[in-house]
Structure 1
Amino acid sequence: MNRLTFVFLLMGIGLALLIFNHESGQTFGINNDQFGEAVYLLPIAALLSVGILAGNRGGLATVIRQLAIWLVIILGLVSAYLYRYDFQRFGETLLAGLIPGRAVVVTAQDGTQEVILNKSVSGHFQTDALVNGAPVHMLVDTGASSVVLSKSDAEAVGIDVDNLAYTVSVMTANGRTSVAPVRLSEIAIGPIVRRNVSALVAQDGQLEQSLLGMTFLSTLGSLQMQTDKLTLRNQ
């Protein structure tokens, strides 16, 4: 059995032990996080030893050169591991800027999760929400007293729009109209989930895009609006 096979075998055993001892939180009396870091460092040590052994065939100069190369590789791997969450946040932020409505989920210093929405090219904040488990692209509207679904979106989330009673009179930019009151079993934006949300359904042709209004937004812990981003905090 060569050295690398032995190292990978040890890694497999270490990962199996972590899975087996997940609930206890410790492996051989060591905190699972610390034990996991030790398992993670095994392949780095293997790479370094292989580089040194390979360099021994070419003399001291080759050994030093190989050692320097492997040290750079190891530093790169360690840096990627230490800053993995920053890289993930950067990637999510980049995608959010390129894809309107994509929510960026970040963890605040106190451990709570936040959802960040970037302003779209139209100058509005939009998001892709899950309504009753179905995706709905919505416009965030703090001026709307309620969540309002267009007829097509209401159909998409499983509402029988033909049997709704359009009895609620509301004033819109196009004048006064009637909408139907409904209850949505769930609205989710990333980790933020609200159940049994009061909402309205607009008549056909009355609303181009569904609105994420205050019956959802008022349940948040905080809603912070800046020039080009909107931060939703769960609690």
Structure 2
Amino acid sequence: MSRLVVVLVVLGIGLALLILNNDTGQTFGIENDQFGRLLYLLPIAGLLSVGVLNASRGNLPLVLRQIAIWLAIILALVSGYLYRDDFRRFGERLLAGLMPGRAVVVTTSEGGQEIILHKSMNGHFEANTQVNGIAVHMLVDTGASSVVLSANDARKIGLHPENLNYTVTVMTANGRTTAAHAMLSELSIGPISRSNIPALVAGDGQLDQSLLGMSFLSTLGSLQMQTDELRLRDW
């Protein structure tokens, strides 16, 4: 029996089993989609093994060494597939440390969109936002009742801090100071966007980093904080 016939027989038996077990969803206790992937890998593995044996005929140590190499490659590929979610989370965590504020957008089981922020190396959650179409890096602060812009960030989005009225008393890392009221036409993180968000503007030198406070966060559908993740859901 030729090799091609053997491959066709194996594929035919496998396909027949998949058809017979279509209603149950499993074949030999394996999910049908996984069994299908295994089915087309087996003939490939068989052909590879035949090629190794033919190329190394009469040299048993070489045959064993090449088989060991292929087994290691297959094991690495299978491990990568099985632990793909863990590798993805590790990669996202690494990128979050290297690029603080990078948001990961995922689709929920209900079809909505959720943004995941990973904790930065400094232990805080940070977010890359768009304020009136301008990129502004903010520190997420659920203890702040309002979005607070530093004077430099306020200038970036077109406000003029020197012309504002500083009548609101606020507490910052530098102590008690005053801030000015402002209205942001648009504030967004990834696909989550809000219009007409009340904000405060800190005076020059009073705030090192803008704060993403509750005047924006309270408009979200949900806000879930875990050990090293902050999940923001639109609605």
| TM-score, length-scaled by structure 1 | 0.63
- Supply the distance in 1 between the matched residues of 2:96 and 2:229 (Cα, whole angstroms): 10
Q: Which runs of 5+ in 1 are unaligned?
A: 1-33
Query: Partner of 1:113 in structure 2?
Result: 114
Residue 56 of structure 1 aligns to a residue in which SS? helix
Q: Which amino acid aligns with 2:57?
A: G
Cα displacement (A) at 1:212: 0.2
Query: What is the CA deviation profile of residues 71-99 of structure 1, one whole-angstrom value per residue up to 9, with x for unaligned ones?
Result: 43223223323433331111111332455
The 8 Å contact of residues 114 and 231 in structure 2, kept in 1 or not, is answered as no
1:135 and 1:129, CA in 2 relative to 1: closer, same or farther beyond 3 A? same
1:227 and 1:101, CA in 2 relative to 1: closer, same or farther beyond 3 A? same
- Supply the distance in 2 between the matched residues of 1:150 and 1:51 (Cα, whole angstroms): 65
Query: Partner of 1:53 in structure 2?
Result: 51
Q: Which amino acid aligns with 2:70?
A: W
Cα displacement (A) at 1:138: 1.2
- Supply the distance in 2 between the matched residues of 1:129 and 1:146 (Cα, whole angstroms): 15
Query: Partner of 1:9 in structure 2?
Result: none
Query: Partner of 2:178 in structure 1?
Result: 177
Asked whether 1:125 is paired with 2:125, we answer yes
The 8 Å contact of residues 180 and 202 in structure 1, kept in 2 or not, is answered as no
The 8 Å contact of residues 126 and 137 in structure 1, kept in 2 or not, is answered as yes
Asked whether 1:187 is paired with 2:188, we answer yes
Asked whether 1:136 is paired with 2:142, we answer no
- Supply the distance in 2 between the matched residues of 1:75 and 1:107 (Cα, whole angstroms): 31
Aligned length: 194
- After superposition, residues 1-20 of structure 1 pair within 5 angstroms as none
Query: Partner of 1:201 in structure 2?
Result: 201
| TM-score, length-scaled by structure 2 | 0.63
The 8 Å contact of residues 149 and 201 in structure 2, kept in 1 or not, is answered as yes
Asked whether 1:166 is paired with 2:172, we answer no
- Supply the distance in 2 between the matched residues of 1:129 and 1:48 (Cα, whole angstroms): 53
Cα displacement (A) at 1:179: 0.7
The 8 Å contact of residues 116 and 231 in structure 1, kept in 2 or not, is answered as yes
Residue 219 of structure 1 aligns to a residue in which SS? coil
Cα displacement (A) at 1:116: 3.2
Q: Which amino acid aligns with 1:183?
A: L
1:64 and 1:187, CA in 2 relative to 1: closer, same or farther beyond 3 A? same
Cα displacement (A) at 1:208: 2.0
1:97 and 1:225, CA in 2 relative to 1: closer, same or farther beyond 3 A? same
Q: Between the two proteins, what is the percent identity of the paired residues?
A: 50
Query: What is the CA deviation profile of residues 157-214 of structure 1, one whole-angstrom value per residue up to 9, with x for unaligned ones?
Result: x32426x8624632212435241312232321x45x1221412333333322111011
Query: Could you say what the CA RMSD is over the residues aligned between the two structures, in angstroms?
Result: 3.7
Query: Partner of 1:4 in structure 2?
Result: none
Q: Which runs of 5+ in 2 are unaligned?
A: 1-32
